[in-house]
Structure 1
């Protein structure tokens, strides 16, 4: 049996060291980023993310403050509520809640939700009005008390008169 020699293996490439100017530039960039993170953590808010903290993760709500739950309902001629939120009209809750200021400014947009509901549920009850209702659920030490109030944030009659 004949032993073969290993093929010529090239030595590892030479390591190129960072020069003094490169090290200073990287240290300066790191110092700027750290300063921004520190300033954002102390004085920042959601709009400064990623240098400011998200308040929903960095703060705590008062355990006795009411919780607000928003829902959209269609109202029939018999004053029965038909749920229009929760994907019934093709919008997710977060998408809808992000549009609340527009709906308050222009209640006729609620008519589009009614149209979407009717196209998805052709045999469903006929709606005469669409409402955005906010339920304020009372808490005591972070637990629901069972007491709540419902406020109609915006309403739109489907015959066109808000």
Structure 2
């Protein structure tokens, strides 16, 4: 799906001012509300906009320890293990990966002892061969999409050569 310069401006506003009304977005952008709504509908339909929910802090929820757990899975059990991981509330994300493992999970824990308990729960799952854990010391670049949106918008506006 091609994102043009106006789409990028809309996405920037959504990221910078997520609690603003559609009417106000249209006013800020200088476009008709119907035009904005049609763009938002297309961006949702095409999977560019996937959610409007708030970003929550695991640390503020009492889980300040973040770790990435690489999981090696028995061949043919990837879907089964992936499904079982959804039953562990401290597992925030799961990705299929290449390299030295099959799955990469992001885990939030209360402390290191709690992290070990979560890892032990994962290790006991049928189909899990082994795990490797990396504990996050400090977040250096928080989750962000605005620089990517701005880059996409700039490249969409650039003349084709």
Give the TM bin, normalised by the shorter chain. Answer: under 0.3
Whose relative contact order is higher, 1 or 2, with alpha carbons under 8 Å and at least 6 apart? 2
Greater gyration radius: 1
Considering fraction of residues, name the structure with more strand.
1
Which TM-score applies when normalising by structure 2?
A: 0.27
